[in-house]
Amino acid sequence: MLLSRRLFTQAALLVPALPALAGVRALAAPADGAAGDMARFIAAMPKAEYHVHLEGTLEAEMKFALAQRNGVKLPYADVAAMKRSYVYHDLPSFLAIYYDGMNVLLKQQDFYDLAYAYLAKAHAQNVLYAEMFFDPQQHIDRGIAVEAVIEGITQARADAQAKLGIESQLILCFMRDLTADNAMKALDAALPYKDRLVGVGLDSDEKDNPPGKFAAHFAKARAAGLHVTTHCDVNQKDTLGHIREALLDIGVERIDHGGNILQSPELMAIARQRGITFTVCPTFSGQILVNGKPVDVVRGMLDNGLKVTLNSDDPAYMGSEYINEVMVKAQIRSNLTKAELLRIERNAFDAAWIAPERKAAFQARLDAFARAQGVTV
């Protein structure tokens, strides 16, 4: 039997009993008849997205098109067969599928097409601004020049802004399961193009790969004027230690996922004091288990005064659910009110790594939407 996304998420959360959480209220089912109204509200709401991996938006249909263009032979008869192969039960098995999919990305035009396709989808779902991750090490190690990767994405960003009006920026991610030396070589290769980047992050398999392994990389990127974030995936080995390192040793500005912080009042207080934003992807990291019972991460963060945002992560491998679909399901699961949805998007625009005047312009559009909907935040 194939493991679905839901089964993967549940399997990833099967961990020993954890400390009880303070301040997390029980969830109630949404009122009958409210779903359609909420879905329309979410669809129309101005949004920002910060936790989306461009390579994770590589839909099966595009894989086939790029494979044909680049002469890459795929072991699948058709798109449906490829999608049926997306079977994973934990983070490493997911990453194996994710990285294998990149083999069709070979030329600058491929990266252009990938980025433009995501930005067009995001624009269609009222995303005004996005900050997108990419994994240069996987491409450099396949013999692709980092210039081709960055320039292809950059041209797509420029064209999407000119033609569609969506603004975006690019975050370089280090792959934590590769060597620190490999990551430093990728950073050094990318720094000549730092004007095309807004920040650096840290992703891939977290086990035995703490943020501190890349302390020198983060310091070098920060010295070059780049912002800093890192993944802290849910229920990983030493997960609270990794969150502590990210906050206190690395000094990150955002944390990607980070749901296990709800286990630590001390770390939550630090995150609140420092104004840390959490880029939660509820499809993947929306729940943790506490004493065998599921605890909703989005609800827990809201109730504990943390700055939570909602994001799609790797939508091509997660049922092709982009930000609207993710938010509709999160609204139901976390029992979010319209005011709370607006608060989440205000968190998102507040966290943008952009000039203050652009941030103010986005907030003004969100405020206008709230007034038009008659919702007070």
Asked whether residue 236 is assigned to any structural domain, the reply reads: yes
Q: Render pLDDT for 38-69 as a digit per residue (tens, 0 to 9).
A: 999 999 999 999 999 999 999 999 999 999 99
Q: Render pLDDT for 153-165 as a digit per residue (tens, 0 to 9).
A: 999 999 999 999 9
Average pLDDT over residues 168-192: 98
Average pLDDT over residues 251-275: 97
Per-residue confidence (pLDDT) for residue 289, from 0 to 100: 72
Per-residue confidence (pLDDT) for residue 17, from 0 to 100: 32
Residues 84, 177: Cα–Cα separation, whole Å: 27
Residues 308, 258: Cα–Cα separation, whole Å: 10
Residue, of 90 and 213, whose pLDDT is higher? 213
Tokens for 134?
């990419």
Asked whether residue 247 is assigned to any structural domain, the reply reads: yes
The annotated binding site for substrate is made up of 314
The annotated binding site for Zn(2+) is made up of 51, 53, 231, 313
SS3 at position 308: strand
SS3 at position 310: strand
> Where does the pLDDT of residue 16 fall: very low under 50, low under 70, confident under 90, or very high at 90 and above?
very low
Per-residue confidence (pLDDT) for residue 333, from 0 to 100: 94
Helix or strand (DSSP H, E) at 290: strand 287-290
Tracing tokens 């049922």 back to the chain, one arrives at 319
Asked whether residue 266 is assigned to any structural domain, the reply reads: yes
Mean pLDDT, all residues of the chain: 90
State which residues form the domain around 306.
5-372
Q: Render pLDDT for 94-120 as a digit per residue (tens, 0 to 9).
A: 989 999 999 999 999 999 999 999 999
Asked whether residue 102 is assigned to any structural domain, the reply reads: yes
Per-residue confidence (pLDDT) for residue 22, from 0 to 100: 36
Backbone angles phi, psi at 278, to 5 degrees: -110, 125
Per-residue confidence (pLDDT) for residue 340, from 0 to 100: 98
Residues 6+ apart with CB under 8 A from 116: 156, 159, 160
264 has a pLDDT exceeding 80: yes
Asked whether residue 212 is assigned to any structural domain, the reply reads: yes
Asked whether residue 29 is assigned to any structural domain, the reply reads: yes
Distance of CA 110 to the CA centre of its chain: 21
Residues 169, 129: Cα–Cα separation, whole Å: 8
The annotated binding site is made up of 51, 53, 231, 313-314
Asked whether residue 377 is assigned to any structural domain, the reply reads: no
Q: Report the domain count for the chain.
A: 1
Give the global pTM. Answer: 0.90
Average pLDDT over residues 166-189: 98
**No. of H helices and E strands in the chain?**
17, 10
Per-residue confidence (pLDDT) for residue 339, from 0 to 100: 98
Asked whether residue 234 is assigned to any structural domain, the reply reads: yes
> Where does the pLDDT of residue 285 fall: very low under 50, low under 70, confident under 90, or very high at 90 and above?
confident
Residues 359, 341: Cα–Cα separation, whole Å: 18
Q: What is the CATH number of the domain that holds 274?
A: 3.20.20.140
